[in-house]
Amino acid sequence: MEREYSKLAPYYHYIGQTRGHFQSQQDFLSGILQNNNYTKSVLDASCGTGDVLNGLSKMFPFIKFYGSDISNPLLNRTFNQPYLYEDNIKLSDWEQLSENFPQNNMDFIYILGNSIAHAISIDKLEKTFSEVNKLLKDDGLFIFDARPWHKNIMEDSFNEPYKEKYINIVNGKIAFSYRTNYFYKDKRHHLQHILNVEEKKEIVVNFSFLDVSKVTLIDILKKNNFYNIKVIEDFDKYPFITLIAKKCS
């Protein structure tokens, strides 16, 4: 996965912007934060290149924000973003979360962009939920999303928004087009970005995702001491589902 993210990292920020995921995530999360005045600490555990994290930190300067990602190539770009609002953001490598961030301290942790499905097995997914539980305060909020692609992978309405797009950022000297393919194989979902960059160079980036159902996700949450579990099916673009849960006190 690191190799694939190394190829994608220079373009990740621009792809996320053009698809509108960063803005929709920021809008969704800001609505939750506005309704929770007690929130003092927030962890973006799938911060990518820091776009959503940075936007929220500017909107809520009184909150301490933390960021991490399982992809070091993306996290390294977050560290070096010239626009990063650093006054209330602290970053950490995923493997050093428990060392760099205090346990039982976070009011709110989110993992968006189907990032939980990078887990190679249910056991690894359970370990992720366990780590989240350790970092959260009692009654702390955990939000993550997933994509039940196996039900709609062949539907034209899903594939239509992801046909070839062209991006041309003049000042930043970024110019490329990309398209995205999805397919299901060996009980995993597969995503393939095909980027055409300068001098007709083609970059192919492949990811696979764990096939996990809504029922299984809820069971894992309960097993890891979460309660008050809610499912939202209309946030972000089809076919995302979002789960919200609290850590038991």
Q: Is 172 found in the same domain as 120?
A: no
For residue 166, the model assigns a pLDDT of 56
The CA distance from 86 to 53, in Å, is 10
Q: Is 166 found in the same domain as 89?
A: no
156 has pLDDT over 50: no
Helices (H), the chain: 2-19, 21-34, 51-59, 72-79, 97-100, 122-135, 156-159, 214-223
Q: Give the mean model confidence (pLDDT) for residues 31-57.
A: 91
Domain that holds residue 117: 2-149+211-247
Torsion from C-alpha of 121, 43, 140, 243, nearest 10 degrees: -50
For residue 234, the model assigns a pLDDT of 67
**Beta strands 64-69 and 41-44, pairing class:** parallel
Q: Is 164 found in the same domain as 72?
A: no
Q: Is 169 found in the same domain as 75?
A: no
Instruction: State the Rg of the chain over Cα.
Output: 18
Q: Is 130 found in the same domain as 91?
A: yes
For residue 79, the model assigns a pLDDT of 73
Q: Is 159 found in the same domain as 75?
A: no
Contacts of 67 (CB under 8 A, 6+ apart): 43, 44, 47, 50, 53, 75, 78, 89, 90, 91, 92
Q: Is 131 found in the same domain as 13?
A: yes
Among 35-39, 120-124, 215-219, 238-242, the least confident range? 238-242
Contacts of 40 (CB under 8 A, 6+ apart): 63, 64, 107
HSE-up of 166 (CA within 13 Å, CB side)?
Answer: 3
The CA distance from 53 to 68, in Å, is 10
Q: Is 95 found in the same domain as 187?
A: no
Among 20-29, 55-64, 140-149, 236-245, the least confident range? 236-245
Residue position matching structure tokens 């690894």: 124
Q: Is 126 found in the same domain as 170?
A: no
Q: Is 241 found in the same domain as 172?
A: no
169 has pLDDT over 70: no
For residue 222, the model assigns a pLDDT of 96
Digit-coded pLDDT (tens) for 193-203: 888 887 678 89
Q: Report the number of distinct structural domains present in the chain.
A: 2
CATH of the domain at 222: 3.40.50.150
Q: Is 170 found in the same domain as 53?
A: no
53 has pLDDT over 80: yes
Q: Cα–chain-centroid distance for residue 137?
A: 21
For residue 236, the model assigns a pLDDT of 58
Among 35-49, 126-140, 149-163, the least confident range? 149-163
Mean per-residue pLDDT of the chain: 83
Digit-coded pLDDT (tens) for 57-89: 989 989 999 999 988 888 888 777 666 666 778
Q: Is 15 found in the same domain as 43?
A: yes
